[in-house]
Amino acid sequence: MMRKVSGVLALLCAAMLAGCGGGEGGGAGDSITVGFSQVGAESEWRTANTRSVKEALAPPEFNLRFSDAQQKQENQIKALRSFIAQGVDVIAFSPVVETGWDTVLQEAKAAGIPVVLTDRAVKVSDESLYATFIGSDFVEEGRRAARWVIEDSEGKPGPIRIVELQGTVGSAPANDRMRGFKEVIGEDDRFVIVRSQSGDFTRAKGKEVMEAFLKAEGGNIDVLFAHNDDMAIGAIQAIEEAGLKPGTDIRIVSIDGVRGAFEAMKAGKLNATVECNPLLGPQLAQLIRDVHAGREVPRRVVVEEGVFTQDQAEAELPNRKY
């Protein structure tokens, strides 16, 4: 009998804790209202990221107001202003581009709403305009891609002609990946980047720009570096349609490590992918809890990642969560 009563009490306690957000943030029914502005739905990576954020910022602990910016900064600024007007507890967002945020972030600060950056960084004059930033080290991802190219080209004479499919113009991943890649590839004078153009992180644009590269360069392309897997997958299609063998005639490295990339590697069409983990939801949720509770948080939280090659694709594919 006693055991039954204490069991019921334990259940009641658990229900009460769940009701008040696992013991965080005050009285029962107190949820943290988060305004989240997402970049868009441009890639497999982004879809996985959105899912992870929505799962982690779920009721009853969180009351999530989610807005999709469709890759447009003006839409994000509108969304942030609307979150400020609604008086949300915390704003989180993944900025489409790096610059142009000072004014709206000042407005959030004046309203006393803390801002957490996720995935992509901003360049602002006053660092106190955001509380913390969780995301990958995009410069290092670019370096990793270049190191793979150098390793893969061992013993090959120069010139080795590279084309680059860049991400969204002005975005942190496009700027940083380009910087990291150039820094490392520039140390070996066999390599020359013959063409660089944005494919806006999408498959359709990746294909279109690769078609233009192939038209301009003919069979004179040795390596493709794509800032994300989706653009590489689009480019693979363009390469096949041009009668060439992706992965053989043109060696290909991209970034993200989504399932589509592993499938392309398994088929021998993509040579390597540098991991960029989109499953930021749980860590983001913890930062939001901490910021909301006024606890100190690190200024920067970096996500741990690796590099995968064709020979690992088959074994790794069943483990991929995105």
> Smallest distance from the beta carbon of 229 to ligand AHR, in angstroms?
7
What is the chain's percent helix, strand, coil content, to nearest 5?
Answer: 45, 20, 35
Among 31, 37, 38, 43, binds ligand AHR (CB under 6 A): 43
Cβ distance to ligand AHR smaller for residue 61 or 181 = 181
176 binds ligand AHR (CB under 6 A): no
173 binds ligand AHR (CB under 6 A): yes
The number of beta carbons lying within 10 Å of the beta carbon of residue 96 is 25
Among 21, 36, 45, 199, binds ligand AHR (CB under 6 A): 45
Binding residues for ligand AHR restricted to 218-247, rule: CB under 6 A: 228, 230
H-helix or E-strand containing 167? none
Rg (CA), the chain: 22
Distance (Å, rounded) from C-alpha 100 to C-alpha 314?
A: 43
255 binds ligand AHR (CB under 6 A): yes
Distance (Å, rounded) from C-alpha 250 to C-alpha 11?
A: 60
Could you tell me which stretch among 41-49, 58-66, 155-163, 289-297 binds ligand AHR (CB under 6 A)? 41-49
Beta partners for residue 38, in sequence order: 68
Distance (Å, rounded) from C-alpha 8 to C-alpha 319?
A: 39
Return the sign of the alpha-carbon dihedral for residues 72, 285, 177, 196: negative
Cβ distance to ligand AHR smaller for residue 35 or 173 = 173
201 binds ligand AHR (CB under 6 A): yes
> Smallest distance from the beta carbon of 13 to ligand AHR, in angstroms?
41
Site residues (vs ligand AHR, CB under 6 A): 42-43, 45-46, 119-120, 173, 201, 228, 230, 255-256, 276
